[in-house]
Structure 1
Amino acid sequence: MLTKANQITSCYLGPQISPEQFIAEHFFLYLAKGTLHGYDGHAHYTLHPGEYCIVRKNHLARYTKIRDNDTFEKVVVIFDTAFLRLFQQRHHTPDAAASNHEAFFRLQPNDRVPAFLQSLMPYYTPGGKIDETFAQVKREELLLILLQSDPTLASILFDFGAPEKIDLEAFMNRNYKFNVSIERFAYLTGRSLSVFKKEFAGIFQQTPSRWLIQRRLQEARFLIHEQGKKPSEIYLDLGFEDLSHFSFAFKKKFGVAPTRLE
């Protein structure tokens, strides 16, 4: 929601999206307070207060939030496919092919963006809700502002094609730390699930699920034994959902609890 003091605080505009590390829909992200570190398997990104970007769909991404005086405030506006299709019809925007591959597309400063964010204030109730009719209009307004400022965004937002077939081995060795389903990995490499599993077995001589666990545990052993990392510091970044599951799997493979290697 937005405060009466014209100070931008957290709000969320558009349909709910999954919190998983697979980005299913494009979204605009503005950081008001704190610092955000992002990683997409290729590069690391940092967003500071007053900066904003487009986070692109069909990418893997992980975020680390750093609070400022125990505060982290952001504005998220979802540009889902249904909304973009409707926008495309209304404004006669042609389909496009993406011209770059980064998950975090940083946007250049534009005076209209902060003004737009402040303009949301009258439409929010004290509970942080907004009428769906106004939500659609405000999302469209933001997109018009962004496209006028940077027309190259069209090549990102209006590319509705599925991921193309890519090198499976290279992709998995680069992205094994992301905690997403096998179905997501198959989709992102441009394969059906059955084809993905067959080709994966031919390359790695293991099932995808078993290989992912083994590869993550090997990396964990290196980080703990060679770099002095603590299990509690690394298990999330290696794709494990909780510390107890990580510790159990580690001890099962290496015969010793990860804390014994510290």
Structure 2
Amino acid sequence: MTKIIPQSENSFVYSCTSQDQWGYEQFISEHILAFQISGETHIFHQQGFFVLKKNRILLAHKNQLAKTLKIPGSAKEYKAVSIILKAEDLKKIAAIYNVACDKKYSGKNNIILPSDNFLKSYFQSLIPYLEQPEIGSNGMIFSKISEAVELLLNINPEFKNFLFDFSEPHKINLENFMLNNFQYNTSIENFARLSGRSLASFKRDFSDVFTIPPAKWLKEKRLEEAYRLIHLENKKSSDIYLELGFENLSHFYTAFKKKYGVTPTESLTIKK
């Protein structure tokens, strides 16, 4: 079970589960500050993989693709709290405190923060908002977000470039980008944004590079990778369909059979 607090357009997110669970949203559109209360979050992102362990704090940058696997701890409990640091709130904070970034941010997208008693106490102070979301006003929510930003800047003043760089992604090599990121389950609009293009420009450039529409190419590429993993690495369909961007196992089976004429299991019995 994952509980989302519907306060101030989901500025606070509280997640809890008793079983391994993949996160469904794979495009991070806003900065996130997250505290792991119990269990672990395994995070697969564009630059690699890391584990957010119990009592650790993560600062994640916006405009990136990432997959999360929530794993309960020894007590079969997974709990995490996330603060969504939305651009609209950060722009207000920047104006109020006259803060501006010195340069375009080019550092790590995911930073595990050192142990900090102030931040841990801050997350403890959010418990009333999580348990009684109907009580908090928008002004109170904004005050807590401002407090989080102040604490981050106190830890490292250079985080102002992380937080207050409001520029959009720059245009990058489309072929390399898609070949490295086709397995993420996100929209064509998000792929366009991350490649530094408008949707129209993305579709036009995509057609020039790959000769077929993006949605069709993504489906074909994912199925080809699935075939390779099943036949060359002995992977099971149930273990790979999510990591390849398919929403559910039934969808994967249907798409696989439509392309190859047989189910993934049946394809193993066919001599190459």
Query: Do the two structures share a fold, i.e. TM-score over 0.5?
Result: yes
2:29 aligned with 1:36 = no
Matching residue of 1:47: 52
2:178 aligned with 1:184 = no
Q: How does 1:61-100 map to 2 (within 5 A)?
A: 61-68=66-73, 69-95=75-101, 96-100=103-107
Local SS of the residue matching 2:255 = helix
Matching residue of 1:109: 115
Evaluate the alpha carbon distance shift between residue 120 and residue 41 of structure 1 in structure 2; reply closer, same or farther with a 3 A threshold.
closer
Q: How does 1:1-262 map to 2 (within 5 A)?
A: 15-16=9-10, 20-68=25-73, 69-95=75-101, 96-100=103-107, 102-121=108-127, 123-124=128-129, 126-132=131-137, 133-261=139-267
8 A Cα contact 1:15 1:78, kept in partner: no
Deviations 1:65-123 (A, max 9, x none): 101122111111111011101110111111341121x43222222121112122334x4
Evaluate the alpha carbon distance shift between residue 195 and residue 153 of structure 1 in structure 2; reply closer, same or farther with a 3 A threshold.
same
**Structure 1 CA distance, aligned partners of 2:201 and 2:126?**
47
Local SS of the residue matching 1:151 = coil
Evaluate the alpha carbon distance shift between residue 125 and residue 47 of structure 1 in structure 2; reply closer, same or farther with a 3 A threshold.
closer
Cα displacement (A) at 1:125: 7.4
Cα displacement (A) at 1:134: 2.1
Evaluate the alpha carbon distance shift between residue 99 and residue 221 of structure 1 in structure 2; reply closer, same or farther with a 3 A threshold.
same
> Could you tell me the percent identity over the aligned residues?
36
What is the Cα-based RMSD across aligned positions, in Å?
2.0
Cα displacement (A) at 1:191: 1.0
Deviations 1:196-222 (A, max 9, x none): 112111111221111101110011011
- Name the amino acid aligned to 1:186: A
- Name the amino acid aligned to 2:158: T
Evaluate the alpha carbon distance shift between residue 120 and residue 205 of structure 1 in structure 2; reply closer, same or farther with a 3 A threshold.
closer
8 A Cα contact 1:14 1:79, kept in partner: no
- Name the amino acid aligned to 2:10: Q
TM-score, normalisation: structure 1: 0.89
Evaluate the alpha carbon distance shift between residue 130 and residue 28 of structure 1 in structure 2; reply closer, same or farther with a 3 A threshold.
farther
Cα displacement (A) at 1:124: 3.7
Deviations 1:116-173 (A, max 9, x none): 122334x447545441232221221121111110112111110101110011111001
Local SS of the residue matching 1:157 = helix
Which range moves more in the overlay, 65-74 or 28-37?
Answer: 65-74
Evaluate the alpha carbon distance shift between residue 21 and residue 11 of structure 1 in structure 2; reply closer, same or farther with a 3 A threshold.
closer
**Structure 1 CA distance, aligned partners of 2:54 and 2:130?**
25
Evaluate the alpha carbon distance shift between residue 138 and residue 29 of structure 1 in structure 2; reply closer, same or farther with a 3 A threshold.
same
Evaluate the alpha carbon distance shift between residue 224 and residue 90 of structure 1 in structure 2; reply closer, same or farther with a 3 A threshold.
same
- Consecutive unaligned residues in structure 2, runs of 5 or more: 14-23
TM-score, normalisation: structure 2: 0.86
